[in-house]
Structure 1
Amino acid sequence: MARDGTPWRLRGRMTIIDSRREAVGDVGYGAWRVVAGLALVAWPLLHLAGFLTSPPGETHEPDLYREHAALVQVSAVILHYSAILIVPVVLALAHLLRARMPRLAVVAGLVGALAAVNGSALLLTDFYDLALAHSLPDAQAVAVTELANGYPGVLYGFLLPAFLVHPALIVLAVALTRTGDLRWWQLTLLVAGLVIPFLTTGQAPVVQSVGPVLILAALAPLGLRVLRMPPERWRI
């Protein structure tokens, strides 16, 4: 009988169960750490590939979509999976903050993840625009697209929420800079990388691709650090 009144045989079984639970937890945290580290590197790479395969121009003009039908589809698929990868990215950034800034980590992580899901859903519209370009006269195709985009459900249910991913990423990055997990130069590159595509919408895709390159330069060092991070540091 142990001092706390627990039989030694039962105490031994409890110790074994606790050890097994801890081992399972270590495996789970280890897998999550690998996913987080890889996502921090893979997201900007896919983002870059999506921009480089985008058709030229800043609008969904029917003639442009017909001329570059293959690029439209390839770019939409790549950017779709790029948006999906933002989910583990924002959750990874939030995870690094959870011990020191738990409330901010939860709020910014959830907002960023939900925004990324909305952004992914928007990529499906490229295929509808392509189908309209092949099925209707150009004027009618443009009119249908403008009508759909003008619905309040699209604006407030999908478009505006999707853009919340940028503030969420910036808030998390600023917080991580304050905690020392990111350097100021990484924060600067990340913000510039998020802003540049919006400032160069009329430029060639290769010019807009500068944005993802800067994001890669900002997040790749953190991703590699997460992959090398000891399990006890990631569990904190």
Structure 2
Amino acid sequence: MSSRTTDGRSAATTAALLAGPIVMTAGMAATPWESENEITAYQAALAASPDQTQIAAVLLFFGYALMGLAFLSVLRRAGGAPRALRIPAATLAFCGATMLPGLVVVDFYDLALIQSLPAEQAAAVGERAGDYGLQPVMQVPAVAGLLLGGILVMLCAWRSGLVGGWAPALVAAGLVASFAVFSGVTMVAGASCSVVAYGGIALRLRSARIPSSPPAARPATA
């Protein structure tokens, strides 16, 4: 295999590992976060920044989808992890990467609600949508797939020697911080943890392709 082909594959792997986390973090940073965890505050934040809301939704849509490439890139190289860990990691990661992007379209409907109806009515409609019993059937596996699946994928990477134990710990800490203290700052910080973790894997894979020193010259034979 030529060095050009190897370099091309290495660059593609690096791009796959970083595209999802970076675009997802950019979407988190662009989101107009509400000051309180309530439907009225959420809709007010959307109404105050309609263009920003749309940009954030698009970034999150592609960021969540591209996380599937990051998951796949890790799992393909995580053969050293036990099957009991790789199978649930792959299952949850698949659910998150394929289901969660579709849920982001709700942001456009919520924006249309608050721009078209009085605040009280818009809030009532938003709360009514959340009362349907089958909504969790789509929402729970989508969100849990991305979050828990991401942690399990990092554990697979660690068990395979692709990254140190700090990576799954960092991703888990970012997740806990994001939901323990709900704010734009913690959500961006939590997503940034994934950028660092997947970046660590990318560096490890690239360094593994570059010999630390040139091979010793073989003695001439008579």
Q: TM-score, normalised by structure 2?
A: 0.78
2: CA distance, partners of 1:116 / 1:100: 21
2: CA distance, partners of 1:214 / 1:72: 23
- The aligned counterpart of 1:110 is 91
Residue number among 189, 199, 215 corresponding to 2:194 in the alignment: 215
Summarize deviations over 1:9-45 as a string: whole Å, max 9, x none: xxxxxxxxxxxxxx9xxx8x99776544212222222
Q: Which residues of structure 2 form unaligned runs of 5+?
A: 210-222
Change in 2 beyond 3 A, CA 1:197/1:172: same
1: CA distance, partners of 2:144 / 2:12: 24
Summarize deviations over 1:85-135 as a string: whole Å, max 9, x none: 111111122111236535643442132122222111111100000000111
Equivalent AA in structure 2 for residue 213 of structure 1: S
- The aligned counterpart of 1:52 is 29
Alpha carbons 2:89, 2:152 under 8 Å: kept = yes
2: CA distance, partners of 1:31 / 1:95: 17
Residue number among 56, 63, 67 corresponding to 1:82 in the alignment: 63
Larger Rg: 1
Aligned-residue offset at 1:141: 1.1
**Could you say what secondary structure the match of 2:134 adopts?**
helix
Q: Which range moved further: 31-40 or 206-215?
A: 31-40
- The aligned counterpart of 1:206 is 185
- The aligned counterpart of 1:183 is 164
Residue number among 140, 148, 173 corresponding to 2:154 in the alignment: 173
Q: Following superposition of structure 1 onto structure 2, how do residues 117-136 of structure 1 map, counting pairs within 5 Å?
A: 117-136=98-117
**Could you say what secondary structure the match of 2:101 adopts?**
helix
Equivalent AA in structure 2 for residue 212 of structure 1: A
Alpha carbons 2:19, 2:70 under 8 Å: kept = no
Aligned-residue offset at 1:75: 1.0
Equivalent AA in structure 1 for residue 140 of structure 2: L
Change in 2 beyond 3 A, CA 1:44/1:60: farther
Q: Which residues of structure 1 form unaligned runs of 5+?
A: 1-22, 231-236
**Could you say what secondary structure the match of 1:141 adopts?**
helix
